[in-house]
Amino acid sequence: MTRASVTAYARLHFGFCNLSLARERLYGSLGVGLDRPSIRVTATPADAVSCAHPTVREYAVRSVDLLDVAGADLAVEGEFPRHVGLGSGTQFALATLVAVARAHDESVDTRALAPELGRGGRSGVGVATFGNGGFVLDAGHPTARFTTSRPAVGEWSVPPVAARHPIPDDWRFLVVVPDAPAGPSGDDEDRSMRSVVESAPPTPSDRLAGVIARRVLPAITEGSAERFGAAVAEVGRLNGTWYADEQGGVYRPPAGELVAALDDSPAVYGAGQSSWGPAAYGVTDAERSGAAREAGRAALDAAGVDGRVLVAEGRNRGALVDAERRND
């Protein structure tokens, strides 16, 4: 039999390019792959699905059906928190799919099958970083496809990658995860996104186009962490003007307090909220990473909340897959 292990990694989501129905492309997102935290899913062939982790078990049942295999025994190690802005859902789903496939000596196209697992309907960053890591800008969807009804699972394609660049080796990303309620997901997230899109004015989209073309992309190409941090922080602030009614401000509390505190640190080049939060991020570099970590702890103290602080490197490779043939 084959024992297959897949390690998938967190990502940061800086925001969308457009949420207004008045523009030709909808969504379009920016983000980066991180080298931590991660989840490791290990699968061996079985006659049915067996897994103690409820989320992974759900994805395993779906994966077994999609792959037309009998089943798998699955074990999970090193997971990271769900619905805090680090992209755990897509990484859990695709790691499970690939582990089940490789356990049965099957190949799998994760981009093609991600929609069947309910992933990649709006942002394509998580699917893209699972495959190749790096900094990703996806192209979004034609606005004409938008409807107020939630599409059935699988009735969309993952947005294509419009630009990908390797993350410079000396860049670092401060991640602050407060002990706060998780961000919206499932039906609640769909409702919030519909509400935002149906009322979003186009002006932030036009400003975002300039920020992305004239600031974000040149900064990643030139390797300037300082300019990149300031640019993606502006992407987040502009996105927050769309979300203010849904999340209680430009940032969802307590992320706003964390971002404000991080902005005061000279070790942090730009700060923002990842996805719906409550996780906040800061862009820094290897030389300033220690001071940035201290700034993260101070930000939690200033906000009056407990939480976790870590410093991650950018990851320029996709998920790690290890398959081993066994005789037992």
**183: confidence class by pLDDT, cuts 50, 70, 90:** confident
Residue pair 268/294 in contact by the 8 Å Cβ criterion:
no
User: For 314, which DSSP code?
Assistant: B
The residues, ordered by sequence, that sit 6+ positions from 144 with a Cβ below 8 Å of its Cβ are none
Q: Which residue has the tokens 């394609």?
A: 157
pLDDT-derived band of residue 184, with 50, 70 and 90 as boundaries?
A: confident
Residues 254-265 have pLDDT tens digits of 999 999 999 999
Residue 281 pLDDT > 90? yes
Supply the pLDDT for residue 93.
97
Averaged over 43-69, what is the pLDDT?
Answer: 97
At 24-44, the pLDDT tens digits run 999 999 999 999 999 999 999
| Predicted pLDDT at 132 | 98
Q: Which two tokens stand for residue 41?
A: 């899913």
Element housing 48 (H / E): none
Instruction: Give the CA angle between residues 128, 243, 146 to the nearest 5°.
Output: 60
Domains and CATH numbers, the chain: 2-325 (3.30.230.10)
Alpha carbon 260 to chain centroid, angstroms: 22
Q: What is the pLDDT of residue 296?
A: 98
Assess whether pLDDT exceeds 60 at residue 328: no
Residue 308 has pLDDT above 60, yes or no: yes
pLDDT score for 145 = 79
Question: Which pLDDT belongs to residue 81?
Answer: 85
pLDDT of residue 153: 63
pLDDT for 148 equals: 64
pTM for the structure as a whole: 0.94
